[in-house]
Amino acid sequence: MNSNVLVTRRIPDESIGMLEAACGVVDVNPHDRAMTREEFLAAARDRDGLLCLLTEDIDDEVLDLSPDLKGVAIYAVGYNNIDVDACTRRGIPVTNTPDVLTDTTADIAWALMFAAARRVAEGDRYVREGRFSGWGPLLMLGSDVTGATLGIVGAGRIGTATAKRAAGFSMPIVYASRRRSEAIERLGARYLPLDDLLRESDFVSLHVPLTTETTHLISERELDLMKSTAYLINTTRGPVVDEKALVRALRDGVIAGAGLDVFEREPELEPGLADLENVVMLPHVGSGTVATRIRMGNTAAANLIAMVNGADPPNCVNPEWKEYRT
Ligand code: GLV
Ligand code: GLV
């Protein structure tokens, strides 16, 4: 009850309430924006727990500020912004919010597939700008989703949930992954090396976490392997795709289009990207439904409360932290 925690951005009230009931001090970023690095460093000093977002880097400099830090809870499933090894070496557990956002994020991958293939955002702009002058047989034609081959890259929870939805659209599924996955194969997905998946798929949907191995996993060479009629969908992390190469591929017709929820240098866009009609973009809202954001907040809060109380948190990503606790 005496713990002192920092929450780096306003999250749903219910989750803040959980923290207030369990901790002595709960400081929440008062601004309606991410903290600057300076603000974060000033606020992160002498804390027992940190509840942070994908917008704050957690590294040695941050960890040095709180000698008694008992845990870092991230309000996200992806935790590439956290130096997990640095936390582990100090005996600090790190948690994320898996499971609760799986279906919501799989839904957005589908929203982007349809939006890209059927030109939904482009069509909306067209109508809104008063350019729609009547039905035409060749007006704004797109590509079929039904029956197309879906390529899933990364057969984790979200990749598998995305594959599951393909049954309703009669789509053959192929997948590439570090490991074979029974769960996705039960859905009829066929395992392929990445290069073959890129050659065969009509939609390539990315679901790998961002690591040093997956940075620029999709670059010029990979885009060249894709069909010129295919679409690339990215709902994971921007740096998995070489955005410069993607702009060139979209401009030169190397692929038909793309649907992006994430960007390489978020929130900045690669020059040229926003000038292209064959890309549809969202502001990183994959998990962005009211219900899911509450579930993520409550999950992150429950993880943090367990950690500041010295209990095992439900969603620990570095269980080996215990070997280093002094
Ligand atoms: C959001 O991008 C997340 O990792 O939860
Ligand atoms: C995320 O939860 C994933 O494993 O895809």
Closest atom of ligand 1 to CA, residue 79: 4
Which of 80, 96, 207, 315 is the pocket-test mutation for ligand 2 (most atoms within 8 Å of CB)?
Answer: 207
Q: What is the pLDDT of residue 253?
A: 98
| Ligand 1 midpoint to CA 287 (Å) | 7
Region 102-281: CATH code: 3.40.50.720
State the CATH architecture for 4-99+290-323.
3-Layer(aba) Sandwich (3.40)
Domains in the chain: boundaries: 4-99+290-323, 102-281
Sheet of 25-28, strand order: 25-28, 4-7, 49-52, 71-74, 94-95
Reply yes or no on whether the pLDDT at 1 is more than 80: no
Selecting among 47, 284, 293, 295, the annotated active-site residue is 284
The residue with tokens 């009669």 is 170
Share of the chain above pLDDT 90, in %: 99
Rounded alpha-carbon distances, angstroms, from residue 12 to 72, 291, 294, 299, 307? 18, 10, 6, 11, 20
Separation CA 47–CA 118 (nearest Å)? 49
pLDDT tens profile 216-263: 999 999 999 999 999 999 999 999 999 999 999 999 999 999 999 999
The packing angle between helices 13-22 and 290-308, to 10°, is: 10
Cβ pair 222, 194 in contact under 8 A = yes
Are both 4-99+290-323 and 102-281 of the same fold?
yes
Separation CA 277–CA 255 (nearest Å)? 13
pLDDT tens profile 43-94: 999 999 999 999 999 999 999 999 999 999 999 999 999 999 999 999 999 9
Reply yes or no on whether the pLDDT at 134 is more than 70: yes
Reply yes or no on whether the pLDDT at 11 is more than 80: yes
Q: Which ligand is nearest to the CA of 55?
A: 1
Cβ within 8 Å of residue 142, ≥6 positions away: 117, 118, 119
Which of 9, 52, 54 is the pocket-test mutation for ligand 1 (most atoms within 8 Å of CB)?
Answer: 54
Predicted TM-score (pTM) above 0.85: yes
* Sign, CA torsion 214/282/165/145: negative
pLDDT, average across residues 101-129: 98
